[in-house]
Amino acid sequence: MGKRESVPQVNAGSMADIAFLLLIFFLVTTTIESDVGIQRILPREDGDVIHHNQRNILSILLNHNGELLIDDAPIGPSLIKKTVIDFIDNGGGQDDSICDYCKGKRRVNSSENPKKAVVVLNAQRETEYGVYIAVQNEIVAAYNHLRNREANRMYNMNYTMMDSLYRNSKTTRKNKDMFGVKIKTIQKMYPINITEAELKNQ
C-alpha cells in the first residue's frame, strides 16, 4: 500500500449554493422594522385646568376631509410651519412676560411669550391618521426650527444635533452632562406646549 501523496481536497464548489440557500431564506423572512417616531407625552388625566389668555392659544382644527383650519381660517398644509413659528415666536408680551430673544413681530393679538403659547390641535373622529401625523410633524418642526436657531446663537450648535448626541450611548458622561444643561436651557426657552382637547363628533 503506497502512502498517499496528499490529502484529497474538499470540493468547495457547492459552498456558494448552500450560502445562496441561506441567503434566500433570510431575504424572505426579513422585515426591516421601523423604530423611529414622533415622541409625545400625554397630559395626565387629572391634570390641572390651566386658564390661558385667548391670545396665547393657536387652535388648529383638522376636519374629516383632511382640511385645516387655523383660528377658524382655512390654510394650506405647507403654511402650517410658518404660522406656528410666527405664533410662538411673536413675543408680544410686556413687563414680566417680555421675551427678549424672540424675533417675531410682537403683535398684540398673538402670543405673549413662547412659555405661554399653547398650540391646541383638534381632529375630528373621521380624520385620517396620516394627515394628523403630518400636522404633528409640522408643529414639531416649527419648535425644532426655533430651538435650533437659539442653540446656534448661544452654543453654535444645532439643538437636534445636541439632542441626538445626548441620547447616543457612545457620548462620554462629561459631555452628556454638558449637553444636558444646554438642552434644558433651550427647552425652557421654547417649551413644547401642544394640547389636544377632547374630540368632538361632527
Partner 1 sequence: MNRFSKKTSLRTPELSTASLPDIVFMLLFFFMTVTVMKSTELNVLNELPNATEIKRLENKDRVIEIHVGKPSFKYRSILGDEPRIQLNDKFADISEVAPYVLSQIQRKPKHVRAFVVVSLKVDKRANMGLISDIKKELRKINALKINYTTYEGDAFKNIE
The residue within the footprint of partner 1, chosen from 74, 105, 128, 185 (CB under 8 A), is: 128
Shortest distance (Å) from residue 174 CB to partner 1 = 20
| Residues 64-103, mask of contacts with partner 1 (x by CB under 8 A) | --x----------xx-------------------------
| Residues 163-202, mask of contacts with partner 1 (x by CB under 8 A) | x---x-x--------------------------x--x---
d(CA 141, CA 143): 5
Which strand (E) or helix (H) includes residue 150? helix 129-155
74, β-bridge pairs: 69
Residue type present at position 53: N
Residues recorded for the chain: 202
**Residue 95 near residue 156, CB atoms below 8 Å:** no
The residue within the footprint of partner 1, chosen from 30, 94, 156, 172 (CB under 8 A), is: 30
120, β-bridge pairs: 59, 195
Of 13-21, 52-60, 105-113, 178-186: span binding partner 1 (CB under 8 A):
13-21
The residue within the footprint of partner 1, chosen from 3, 125, 173, 174 (CB under 8 A), is: 125
Q: For residue 63, give the 3-state DSSP assignment.
A: coil
Handedness of CA 163, 167, 169, 173 (dihedral sign): positive
Of 41-49, 50-58, 83-91, 103-111: span binding partner 1 (CB under 8 A):
41-49
Q: Is 138 a binder of partner 1 (CB under 8 A)? A: yes
